[in-house]
Amino acid sequence: MLRLYNTLTRKKELFKPIKKNKVGLYTCGPTVYNYIHLGNLRAFVFYDLVKRYLLYKKYKVKHVMNITDVDDKTIRDSQKEKKSLKEFTEFYTREFLKDLQTLNIIKPDIMPKATEHIPEMVSLVKILLKKGYAYKAADGIYFSIKKFKNYGNLAQLEKQNLQSNARVSMDEYEKENISDFSLWKAYDKNDGNVFWETEIGKGRPGWHLECSAMSQKYLGIPFDIHCGGIDLVFPHHTNEIAQSEAAYNKKFVNYWLHNEHLLVDEKKMSKSLHNFYTLRDLLSKQYSGKEIRFLLLSVHYRQKINFTFESLNSVKNILEKIEEFMTNIQNYKKSSPLLIKKTKQEFEKAMDDDLNFSKALAVIFDFMKEVNKKKIGIGVKKLMFEFDKVLGLNLDKIKSEKIPEKIIKLAEEREKARKEKNYKEADKIRNEINSLGYQLEDSEKGVKIKKV
Ligand code: AMP
Ligand code: ZN
């Protein structure tokens, strides 16, 4: 039974989808004004983990992820580069999709762009105006937070701070500036040629509005799960809830899941602090997508990760071990249905406990040890492939060749000769193995056979 930590209640709750066996999943996507960095990727890998585990549990998942292709930052930077907003954001959208692929992240089913959903957003603002939750000001249309009595529940804001009439027009702001927020920004000459002529005036949407309008369009209201990085709890998700629940008078989302930050030297990795690595940076240093994916997954999603190259290097070794394991098991013959059953149960128990992936990994590593020790071969590959639906390491693509029986026998004979200190004989056998196209590598843990 899957339990998920719901930010709304600050508790682990039993997951029950609205429709049997189906899950509506909305994850906040990128603002496409630059290459995404490793911190952003932690969020996208986390979304992928949520989705993959739901798929593993045989749910039918409808996954929607927005592309923010109009906001303060995309306008500012497209102007700097003297490009149209469309040309500029399309470039970074394509690069973003490539990054998802490199990390083996399953592509969302629907990736709506904000600029292609202006009518939906205008309709939502019209409802809010009609119901008295929104009002017009000189620079646009604002949401009145004091009109919505549940404002700030998700972020657990202090209620006495919500009475001000202050307004904030920026998309991003801090808790100290809790204010009425912008739904629609009236045209300003700094926006250049970015505007829409609509029933609610000439201008462009505020950032928060798009997720309310697009999630409702594709998933309905309420829907099951909404994910994002922890920094989105306030103001973004707080404002999404206010807009949607005020307009439709229904609960917006049942489960809110948030990933913690990736840090560098104890500070959040972010563009504004200039302490970030893009995926390109790391690929050019010869790290692979798989390694980066694994590093981002290996710590529980609600704990911070401090990024270091040492940790990325240690992932290299772990993945090598897994690959080697996948090769070795081809030569194992024994069977242990009990071990297979127990391992599957323990893996699921860990994942069911709020997606405890690090615990699930420990289960897999213990299993690998046991299999190696007892030379269990039957059902092992199948189980690893099953786990790989969640791991996303493409274990089925590992090029592993079965080591011929004859070579294994020779290697065993050589071991025997060595133990008996008959080094001449041992070297002779080693040469024979080499002449057959295989190589022996002695390590602390025993001898490894590799194809040359
Ligand atoms: P943005 O493009 O800035 O809207 O960010 C896309 C996603 O990345 C959001 O869910 C953010 O919360 C998340 N994010 C940004 N920086 C980090 C970080 N350092 N660690 C984890 N998640 C992050
Ligand atoms: Zn969003």
Tens of pLDDT, residue by residue over 216-232, are 999 999 999 999 999 99
Question: What gap in Å lies between CA 394 and CA 288, rounded to an integer?
Answer: 13
> For the segment 345-381, what is each residue's pLDDT rounded down to a tens digit?
999 999 999 999 999 999 999 999 999 999 999 999 9
Q: Is the pLDDT of residue 445 over 70?
A: no
**What per-residue confidence (pLDDT) applies to 75?**
96
In contact, 101 and 115? CB cutoff 8 Å? no
Given the CA of residue 269, which atom of ligand 1 is nearest to it? 19
In DSSP notation, 396-443 reads GG----PPPHHHHHHHHHHHHHHHTT-HHHHHHHHHHHHHTTEEEEEE
H-only helix segments in 277-308: 279-284, 289-298
Q: What is the largest CA-CA distance in the chain?
A: 93
Question: For residue 222, how far is the Cα from the chain centroid?
Answer: 23
Question: What gap in Å lies between CA 306 and CA 53, rounded to an integer?
Answer: 25
Please, which pLDDT band fits residue 248 given cuts at 50, 70 and 90? very high
Question: How many CA atoms lie within 13 Å of 178's alpha carbon, on the beta-carbon side?
Answer: 19
The Cβ of residue 343 has, within 10 Å, a number of other Cβ atoms equal to 23
**What per-residue confidence (pLDDT) applies to 444?**
67
CA angle, residues 146, 212, 4, in degrees to nearest 5: 95
**What per-residue confidence (pLDDT) applies to 175?**
81
H-only helix segments in 181-308: 207-219, 238-248, 279-284, 289-298
Ligand 1 lined by 208 (C-beta under 6 Å): no
In contact, 106 and 47? CB cutoff 8 Å? no
* Centroid of ligand 2 to alpha carbon of 300 (angstroms): 22
Tell me which residue has its CA closest to atom 17 in ligand 1. 39
CA quadruple 152, 155, 158, 163: dihedral, nearest 10: -30
Ligand 1 lined by 229 (C-beta under 6 Å): yes
Ligand 1 lined by 66 (C-beta under 6 Å): no
If one residue of 27, 28, 40, 113 were mutated to test the ligand 1 pocket, choosing by the most ligand atoms within 8 A of its CB, it would be 40
* Centroid of ligand 1 to alpha carbon of 268 (angstroms): 10
Ligand 1 lined by 169 (C-beta under 6 Å): no
- Which tops the pLDDT comparison, 283 or 176? 283
Tell me which residue has its CA closest to atom 11 in ligand 1. 229
Q: What is the mean pLDDT of residues 308-337?
A: 93
* Centroid of ligand 1 to alpha carbon of 229 (angstroms): 5
> For the segment 137-181, what is each residue's pLDDT rounded down to a tens digit?
999 999 999 999 999 999 998 876 676 678 888 888 888 788 999
Q: Which ligand is nearest to the CA of 65?
A: 2
**What per-residue confidence (pLDDT) applies to 4?**
98
Tell me which residue has its CA closest to atom 9 in ligand 1. 229
The Cβ of residue 47 has, within 10 Å, a number of other Cβ atoms equal to 28
> For the segment 104-130, what is each residue's pLDDT rounded down to a tens digit?
999 999 999 999 999 999 999 999 999
**What per-residue confidence (pLDDT) applies to 162?**
73
> For the segment 86-108, what is each residue's pLDDT rounded down to a tens digit?
999 999 999 999 999 999 999 99
Closest CA to 50 of 224, 230, 216: 224
* Centroid of ligand 2 to alpha carbon of 5 (angstroms): 19
pTM to 2 decimals?
A: 0.90
**What per-residue confidence (pLDDT) applies to 206?**
95
Ligand 1 lined by 269 (C-beta under 6 Å): yes
* Centroid of ligand 2 to alpha carbon of 236 (angstroms): 6
Given the CA of residue 28, which atom of ligand 1 is nearest to it? 10
Token pair 């998942």: residue: 61
Please, which pLDDT band fits residue 446 given cuts at 50, 70 and 90? confident
Mean pLDDT, rounded, of the chain: 94
Question: What gap in Å lies between CA 68 and CA 115, rounded to an integer?
Answer: 8
Ligand 1 lined by 37 (C-beta under 6 Å): no
* Centroid of ligand 2 to alpha carbon of 211 (angstroms): 5
* Centroid of ligand 2 to alpha carbon of 110 (angstroms): 14
Ligand 1 lined by 422 (C-beta under 6 Å): no
**What per-residue confidence (pLDDT) applies to 449?**
81
Question: What gap in Å lies between CA 307 and CA 312, rounded to an integer?
Answer: 8
* Centroid of ligand 1 to alpha carbon of 49 (angstroms): 16
Q: What is the mean pLDDT of residues 21-44?
A: 97
Q: Is the pLDDT of residue 271 over 90?
A: no
Ligand 1 lined by 42 (C-beta under 6 Å): yes
Q: Is the pLDDT of residue 400 over 90?
A: no
**What per-residue confidence (pLDDT) applies to 439?**
86
Q: Is the pLDDT of residue 269 over 90?
A: yes
**What per-residue confidence (pLDDT) applies to 93?**
98
Q: What is the mean pLDDT of residues 273-291?
A: 93
Q: What is the mean pLDDT of residues 314-341?
A: 93
The sign of the dihedral angle between the CA atoms of 366, 372, 375, 378 is: positive
Report the share of the chain in percent with pLDDT over 70: 98
Ligand 1 lined by 261 (C-beta under 6 Å): yes
Task: Retrieve residue 70's tokens.
Answer: 């109009």
Please, which pLDDT band fits residue 437 given cuts at 50, 70 and 90? confident
The sign of the dihedral angle between the CA atoms of 252, 260, 394, 407 is: negative
